[in-house]
Amino acid sequence: MPRWDVEWSRQATAVLDRISLALQAQAEDIYSNVQPKAEEFGKKLGSNEAYITNFAEEVIRGSGGLVLSQILAGLAGPVREAAKMGVWELASSLHAATGEVKVMDDLVGIQGKSFDTPQVLLVHKLGGMEDIPLGVVAILSPSGVDVLSHIAIRARNQKVLLASCHDGGIFSALVDANKAHKYVKVAVDSTMQVSLEPAASAGAGVTGTKAPTSVKLAAADLGPSSSKYVMLDTAFAHGCLGLSLPPSPSHTLARGSVFFPPFPPPPPSLCMLLLKNVVLATGYMLLH
């Protein structure tokens, strides 16, 4: 089968879609397992909430899947074009949303804001690291978004419809046709084509597919009588929490102390590795 002909490209699109879905499922699994425990540890340790809010997302983006998701984002447009398929790509699980339509260059100007009325945003440029303001129910953009980017993870967690259009002309026509409307309804059909139509009001906001059920973890006993929050590296041993799962930054740090003098102290990044390893190990042990 010749490469880049219609049939080959359609098969390649199917493979890319399956890989993308697998990455999304893995990301959701990591988030549901890691974030609750990170918040629990952070509360017990008195950590600054700003360091805990995106903890699981950083774990996800620290995996090899991030590079793969970026490759998928780069391939999606050319492969879909060669396959003569639609120009839209969905980065979240929702298929419909209704709200007040706004056209904007980017999301920078509304970071940290919230809206009382559901918002449908037509955004000319996305960087991937933006937060999604409370009240936004849909974001459409010509910018490609990889499935493990910050905004894609937030869209799935916040149940926001996020879609990219790989044809700038089609997106511009969509903006021109709808920028005069106050409210619009966004719908994604079975062929992944996105359509907008005028709506009488913002309605109930979001409808669509049901979010996957989260894994419920048993609450860890973090009382002073049962747990140690801090261990000296001399106490690290195989079988301790965080040391039995490869790779083990804790074990690496302990071994490193044999070869290096005690000063200067380890950098903060190593301390964050230890915390990340403990949280991951806790989720693993509770699930198995």
Residues acting as catalytic residues? 150
Q: In whole angstroms, what is the distance from residue 177 CA to residue 157 CA? A: 30
**DSSP assignment of 136-154, as one string?**
EEEEEESS---TTSHHHHH
Q: In whole angstroms, what is the distance from residue 126 CA to residue 140 CA? A: 10
Question: In the chain, at which residue ranges do the beta strands (DSSP E only) sit?
Answer: 88-90, 96-104, 114-123, 134-141, 161-165, 183-188, 194-198, 206-207
User: Tokens 């010749």 sit at which residue?
Assistant: 2
How many other β-carbons are positioned within 10 Å of the β-carbon of residue 8?
A: 15
Environment class of residue 156 by beta-carbon count within 10 Å: exposed (0-12), middle (13-18) or buried (19+)? buried
Beta bridge partners of residue 187, listed in sequence order: 96, 195
Beta bridge partners of residue 96, listed in sequence order: 187, 207
Q: In whole angstroms, what is the distance from residue 276 CA to residue 61 CA? A: 13
Q: In whole angstroms, what is the distance from residue 132 CA to residue 114 CA? A: 9
How many other β-carbons are positioned within 10 Å of the β-carbon of residue 221?
A: 8
